[in-house]
Structure 1
Amino acid sequence: MSIILLASLVFLLMPIFLLLYIRSYNRHKKNHFVEKENMRQKFESEILKTHIEVQEQTMQTIATELHDNIGQLLSLTTLTLNSINVPENEKASEKIENSLSLVNKSIKEIRELAKILHGEQIVESGIGNAIEQEINWLKRVGGYELQVSNNLLELSVSSPDKDLIILRLLQEIINNIIKHAQATSIHIDTYLKNETLFLTVKENGIGFDYEAARTKKTGIGLASIQKRVELIKGKIEVNSVVEKGTSIFIEIPYP
């Protein structure tokens, strides 16, 4: 009788033990998957950080070369042109004056470009001022009707690492517009609300099929922007209509 009772008990308990085992196995499997996914994301994040660091080092090297070497050569050219004396040749004198004007303008543009490339120095004065310098550069490029609402100029908080990435985000977006959008109007809006930094860029260019670009991975610039946003735990939304332009909305926890 006891053997039958024991067998019955084992028979009744076996499904429970089996169920507990399956649950435990699934839980361990899920935990392993989550751990593996976290490791993958961390690895990708480290790769992206390294990639960005290499980009920054490259841009800083270029900025130094532009400012120190090419800038110095142009300054020497200015001195040489100033030393030329042609009082009896009005036409030659006019050409020299025009050349001086062009060289001085080139020196100014190279210095501004060097500042933009040397992002770390720019963001020292705050992300609002960094964005303002980028907008001023875009104004000098010309060819666009600009509508700008930069509400970060009086920002009292900062996050240098994030600031540099945000600046590069805006530069990448503007670069894409100049290269591909064929736009005539650009609207840039920035503000901080509830510890979230909002960046919106709209243009009236030719637009594109966003989903197709993501599927075919043809939008390399856009992919770079998305990766940078993910790196600082932000969100990005891209709305684009062919022949009607593109709008990019970015939200970033800040500071």
Structure 2
Amino acid sequence: MQNETTKIAILVAISTLIFLLMPIFLLLYIRSYNRHKKNHVLEKQNMQQKFEAEMLQARVEVQDQTMQSIATELHDNVGQLLSLTTLTLNSVNLSDEVKAKKKIENSLQLVNKSIKELRELAKLLHGEQLVENGLGHAIDQEISWLSKSGAYELQVNNTLSESDYTSPDKDLIILRLLQEIINNMIKHAQATQIQIDAYLATNVLHLKVKENGVGFNPDEIKARKSGMGLNSIYKRIEMINGKLILNSAPGKGTSISIEIPYP
């Protein structure tokens, strides 16, 4: 009987202890859950802040690149057109009516062409030809600047202009990625041929750039963690859940393939 009483006492004691400890464990669990929840919220806020900061940086860089393109266009294209107009008008001999009329007509054509070029530049200044009109149109504009240099044989397949899909945040970063890639090629590749493909397939945006330049060793660049803007490119692709495939070798050119969930 005493053994039974002892067992009952022990069971009561254990039950009491469990009953007393349960609220403590519950409080500790709630505290731990709230701490993790708070950390998760802070982490999301930090990620959002980083994304917004990166978006702002990309926007500034796109605008800066656009302004550089406009400055080049004003100097190399519009400036030359106006200089040619001035030369043509200065050479007009009013005593030779036929030749004078022809030169004045040519001058008017040059002026009209200059006005058309200035209108296109004005649209750029107002952002009408950046990502607001769609990524495909913005890519066409970048390729247009590249084409006007006359330094490259271009092969372009851009079907994004035919798509109605847009993703303003992603579009801005993708445009900046293309600008960085083109700038790297201009500075380092010594290429003569460039192929650019941009298209959508099964909700994935594909951007491929290939050139026949001097090439490089990708592993060596990664090991140095610097050079050619690759770190910036990788970081931005990671931000929009994309994937980059880079193939290059000394003397064999470079190809870059980017895949991004879209829109």
| TM-score, structure 1 normalization | 0.67
Does structure 1 conserve the Cα–Cα contact (< 8 Å) formed by 2:246 and 2:254? yes
Does structure 1 conserve the Cα–Cα contact (< 8 Å) formed by 2:242 and 2:261? no
Matching residue within 1, 13, 19 for 1:7:
13
Does structure 1 conserve the Cα–Cα contact (< 8 Å) formed by 2:59 and 2:172? no
1:48 maps to amino acid: E
Q: Secondary structure at the match of 1:191?
A: strand
Report the CA distance between 1:6 and its aligned residue.
3.0
Does structure 1 conserve the Cα–Cα contact (< 8 Å) formed by 2:61 and 2:176? no
Matching residue within 157, 161, 174 for 2:165:
157
Q: Any unmatched runs of 5+ in structure 1?
A: 88-96
Q: 1:250 to 1:115 in 2, by over 3 A?
A: farther
Cα distance in 2 between the residues matched to 1:70 and 1:241: 33
1:51-71: per-residue Cα shift (whole Å, max 9, x none)?
233334545666777778998
Q: Secondary structure at the match of 1:199?
A: strand
Aligned match of 2:237: 229
Cα distance in 1 between the residues matched to 2:40 and 2:19: 31
Q: Secondary structure at the match of 1:35?
A: helix
Equivalent residues in 2 for 1:1-255, closer than 5 Å: 1=6, 3-10=9-16, 27-58=33-64, 77-85=83-91, 114=121, 118=125, 120-123=127-130, 124-210=132-218, 212-214=220-222, 216-219=224-227, 221-231=229-239, 233-243=240-250, 244-255=252-263
Q: Any unmatched runs of 5+ in structure 2?
A: 1-5, 94-102
Report the CA distance between 1:179 and its aligned residue.
0.8
Q: Secondary structure at the match of 1:178?
A: helix
Report the CA distance between 1:221 and its aligned residue.
2.3
Percent identity between the two aligned chains:
39
Q: How many residues align?
A: 241
Does structure 2 conserve the Cα–Cα contact (< 8 Å) formed by 1:198 and 1:251? yes
Cα distance in 2 between the residues matched to 1:227 and 1:144: 28
Q: 1:118 to 1:172 in 2, by over 3 A?
A: farther
Cα distance in 1 between the residues matched to 2:53 and 2:200: 29
Does structure 2 conserve the Cα–Cα contact (< 8 Å) formed by 1:116 and 1:134? no
Cα distance in 2 between the residues matched to 1:158 and 1:112: 25
Report the CA distance between 1:175 and its aligned residue.
1.0
Aligned match of 2:96: none
Q: 1:47 to 1:37 in 2, by over 3 A?
A: same
Cα distance in 2 between the residues matched to 1:224 and 1:119: 27
Cα distance in 2 between the residues matched to 1:203 and 1:16: 68
Report the CA distance between 1:20 and its aligned residue.
6.1
Does structure 1 conserve the Cα–Cα contact (< 8 Å) formed by 2:58 and 2:176? no
Cα distance in 2 between the residues matched to 1:253 and 1:16: 48
2:46 maps to amino acid: R
Q: Which has the larger radius of gyration?
A: 2
Report the CA distance between 1:173 and its aligned residue.
1.0
Report the CA distance between 1:198 and its aligned residue.
1.4
Does structure 2 conserve the Cα–Cα contact (< 8 Å) formed by 1:119 and 1:167? no
Report the CA distance between 1:174 and its aligned residue.
0.9
